[in-house]
Amino acid sequence: MTGCLDSKGRMSHTGRQGRWVPCCLILVLIIPGLAHAQYLFRSCPALPTAGLPLHPVPGRIVAEARHATLLRKGVSHLFGQVTLTDGERRLWVDQARYDRLTGLVTGRGHLRFAEPGFDLLGTHGTYNFKTRLGTFFDTRFEIPKRHGRGTASTIQTEGARKTQLRSLRYTTCPVGNTEWVLHAGHATLYPKADLGVAHDVWIDFYGVPFFWTPYLTFPLSSRRKSGFLAPSIGDNSLNGLDLSIPYYWNIAPNMDLTLTPRILSYRGILTGLDFRYLTQSSQGNLEGHYLPHDRVTNTRRAQLTYTDETALSTHTSLNANINYVSDPSYFQDFGSSLIEVAQPYQYRTVSMTYAQPNWNLTSLVQDIQTVDPTIPEVDRPYASLPDILFDGRWLTGPTGLDFHMRGEFVRYQAAGKLTGNRLDLEPRLSYEIGNSTASLTPRIGLSETHYLLSAPAVPGGPTTLNRFAPIASLNGELHFERSIDGGRMLETLVPRVFYLYIPYRNQNNFPVFDTTLPPFSVQQLFTTNRFLGIDRLGDANQLTAAVSTSFLNSGSGAELASFTAGEIFYFSQQRVTLPGEAPLTQARSNYVAAGSINVANRWRAEAGAEWDPYLKQWDEGTLELEYRPSGNRVIDLAYRYDRNFLHQAEISFVWPVAGGFSAVGSWDYSVLDRATLETFAGIQYDTCCWIFRLIARRFVTPGATYGTLGQADSGVYFQLSFKGLGSLGRPLDSFLQNDVLGYQSNATY
């Protein structure tokens, strides 16, 4: 159960050492941070707190009682509602013997001891206010802010050296509720070593013991502690029984490692490793998984991810993002969601950036592994070895001139394909005229691109290519505002026109290293190049007309709704194309629009659409509708449409049913394939101090050829979490956050 102890929490440069409170027991060790604990137990009744002096005076012991007898040598007998106070510590008892010289109090009858955040009740005991040594018998204790409570037959404190507890019982359930209880026969706390040791530890759930260990160690603060984490268990049709037993190694305050053997009954043992580090100048993560022999495929399976961010100096940084997978089916067999299964590429990038206030220079090397086997070899991306990018912008002060310079040199390499070097330079100069009501911004620039190729891009073509083209644009905007709904809302209206001119340059002999034609959208209305990439510079003599409107809350400034629509008018035919594509001959583009609306913080809708005015049909469309009447009630509907390519509907939800039960589920359906891509359904039972999740899931992997579907995988998974302690089973809260938009987890760690 050591894994409950924040072993996967954020690391800091120095670690976190909390103040040790002598009587706070092991509860501070296994409870999450205070702010998170308040969130976890927000539905629980508050535990009582001990009354403390309003103006405590540290170092001065104040005694109060109905009757008192003063003996020789400073010894007093106190009777009836006895109270002794020293600073923020207070002791109540029916009767007490108090030695003023030594500070020792011996109390009997309805004893109660309290200090900030902790409250203890017992039948009798002793406590020394000067040495902080004491023994309490037949105790009940509470830590209200962490919502922990329990009992111990004996609590014996020895100052800052150690504290011993016998016959310990602990739970975060409210008073009168013991649905789960942690037991320990004996526990010893060593504050200076930040270590606790417990013997004969077990947990019972509704009176049924189900976990036991003879020996357990744990940290006394929020520091991480080496040990086994809670296991994860599941079952699916591809892998069979799926059991993970992670072990956490706290190597240093700024370094840790998690080793996870994952037992797959059909395939073998997939060993996972997760290593993290943090220094004054860098942070990184190395994660890998290795299966030496897959009994299903008779192959070796592996996956590796490494990320690092290092500040070499004030202006220089080094970043790495390296990913590897042994085979195209790895994520299909071992991935946990449709997002992982759909990854077509694994990127391997190392970059160095030098940044100044007005400019930055980045040099990187990048290789890309194609994971999706359906992608043809000719369409697979090139490696950039290297890619050097310069970007700078200078404002010339009161003149209003804005000078922007961009430059890039790339060497593209790929086995069995055309390779070459590309240098691109693009200086731009703009000047804004006007004010916040009306503005006009002319801009002029030059695109200069040079190629040196290993072979001609087309038969008989040259290996050295050059392209020069001016780029001129003019952007005009008007801004209107008005108050509506009695001044409670502000509406803005922004008509905008954008003229772009780029002369035609013949680029049929040019290679295509990294350039595509993106889908037409609202963002495309105002770009200077209709292509995404530098290998093609689109010719243009066109005017964009668009309008945007938004509705704002006058008090908070929050956006309630927004909408943008527009189209492009072409004054000359577009002639530049990618290989195999026909030029655009229409005099105008499709209509595009996008908008969003929020209603009373309950309804949220987002939509985008593209309409072909010539064929009178929708080319693309997206619609997403979310209903959230409260934080734990969410229904999300989505539909994505791309004519002849994608018709996909999704629904996901989490909804309380009754008595702490909630239904959770998701359905992802392809209309074109007439097949369900992914679906899951389950229940969640959330109480004040524990939560249970059970989910059945099925998803379909991609097929052997592009656009086809493969085999189906299904499984059943569960998670039982004791709030403030830990969980057993698969961490389904993170799975639900990925698959149910807007899901809020009541995580326990």
444 vs 215: which has the higher pLDDT: 444
Cα–Cα distance for residue pair 474/716, rounded to 1 Å: 59
Is the pLDDT assigned to residue 220 strictly greater than 60? no
Q: What is the pTM of this model?
A: 0.74
Is the pLDDT assigned to residue 245 strictly greater than 90? no
Query: Quick one: pLDDT band at residue 56, thresholds 50, 70, 90?
Result: low
Task: Name the residue among 104, 171, 167 with its Cα closest to residue 131.
Answer: 104
CB atoms within 10 A of CB 544: 20
104-115 and 118-128 beta bridge pairing: antiparallel
Within 13 A of 227's CA, how many CA atoms are on the CB side?
Answer: 21
Is the pLDDT assigned to residue 32 strictly greater than 60? no
- Residue 545 confidence (pLDDT): 97
Task: Name the residue among 94, 90, 121 with its Cα closest to residue 107.
Answer: 94
Cα–Cα distance for residue pair 443/432, rounded to 1 Å: 9
- Residue 258 confidence (pLDDT): 94
Q: Please, are residues 122 and 111 in contact by the beta-carbon 8 Å criterion?
A: yes
Cα–Cα distance for residue pair 134/146, rounded to 1 Å: 24
**Which of the following CATH numbers is that of domain 17-222: 3.40.50.300, 3.40.718.10, 3.40.50.1220, 2.60.450.10?**
2.60.450.10
- Residue 425 confidence (pLDDT): 97
Q: Please, are residues 84 and 96 in contact by the beta-carbon 8 Å criterion?
A: yes
| Chain position carrying tokens 């590429």 | 345
- Residue 75 confidence (pLDDT): 86
Is the pLDDT assigned to residue 524 strictly greater than 70? yes
- Residue 741 confidence (pLDDT): 65
- Residue 117 confidence (pLDDT): 65
Q: Residues with Cβ < 8 Å from 77, sequence gap 6 or more?
A: 68, 69, 71, 95, 96, 97, 98
Percent of the chain predicted with pLDDT > 90: 46
Q: Which has the minimum average pLDDT: 199-213, 266-280, 281-295, 519-533? A: 199-213
Most confident of 185-189, 702-706, 724-728: 185-189
Most confident of 115-129, 463-477, 728-742: 463-477
CB atoms within 10 A of CB 245: 15
Q: Which has the minimum average pLDDT: 23-37, 98-112, 388-402? A: 23-37
Model confidence pLDDT, tens digit, residues 667-701: 999 888 888 888 889 998 988 888 888 888 887 76
Q: SS3 of 144, please?
A: helix
Residue spans of the domains in the chain: they are 17-222, 224-384, 621-749
Query: Quick one: pLDDT band at residue 50, thresholds 50, 70, 90?
Result: very low
Instruction: Compute the average pLDDT of residues 314-340.
Output: 83
- Residue 57 confidence (pLDDT): 57
Is the pLDDT assigned to residue 15 strictly greater than 50? no
Cα–Cα distance for residue pair 149/141, rounded to 1 Å: 5
- Residue 397 confidence (pLDDT): 66
Q: Which has the minimum average pLDDT: 186-190, 652-656, 678-682? A: 186-190
Cα–Cα distance for residue pair 273/256, rounded to 1 Å: 11
Is the pLDDT assigned to residue 31 strictly greater than 80? no
27 vs 123: which has the higher pLDDT: 123
Is the pLDDT assigned to residue 517 strictly greater than 70? yes
Hey, what long-range contacts does 249-255 have (CB within 8 A, 24 or more apart)? 250/7, 250/223, 250/224, 250/225, 250/226, 253/11, 253/12, 253/13, 253/14, 253/15, 253/223, 254/11, 254/12, 254/13, 254/15, 254/278, 254/279, 255/11
Greatest pairwise CA separation for the chain in angstroms: 116
The DSSP 8-state label assigned to residue 532 in this structure reads B
Query: Quick one: pLDDT band at residue 42, thresholds 50, 70, 90?
Result: low
Instruction: List for the chain the helix, strand, coil content (%; round to 5).
Output: 5, 60, 35
Is the pLDDT assigned to residue 443 strictly greater than 90? yes
The secondary structure element, H or E, covering residue 62 is strand 61-64
Task: Name the residue among 425, 359, 420 with its Cα closest to residue 394.
Answer: 359
Rounded alpha-carbon distances, angstroms, from residue 28 to 46, 132, 408: 18, 19, 55
Is the pLDDT assigned to residue 144 strictly greater than 70? yes
Using H for helix, E for strand and C for coil, what is the string for 299-322?
Answer: EEEEEEEEEEEEECCCCEEEEEEE
Is the pLDDT assigned to residue 405 strictly greater than 80? yes
Q: Please, are residues 537 and 467 in contact by the beta-carbon 8 Å criterion?
A: yes
247-252 and 227-228 beta bridge pairing: antiparallel
Cα–Cα distance for residue pair 733/736, rounded to 1 Å: 5
| Chain position carrying tokens 């840790």 | 256
The DSSP 8-state label assigned to residue 706 in this structure reads T
Q: Please, are residues 620 and 648 in contact by the beta-carbon 8 Å criterion?
A: no
Percent of the chain predicted with pLDDT > 70: 84
Rounded alpha-carbon distances, angstroms, from residue 322 to 286, 305, 311, 385, 493: 9, 6, 18, 15, 46
Query: Quick one: pLDDT band at residue 2, thresholds 50, 70, 90?
Result: very low
- Residue 55 confidence (pLDDT): 46
Instruction: Compute the average pLDDT of residues 247-271.
Output: 92
- Residue 707 confidence (pLDDT): 55
Is the pLDDT assigned to residue 596 strictly greater than 80? yes
Instruction: Compute the average pLDDT of residues 698-705.
Output: 65
Single-letter amino acid, residue 270: L
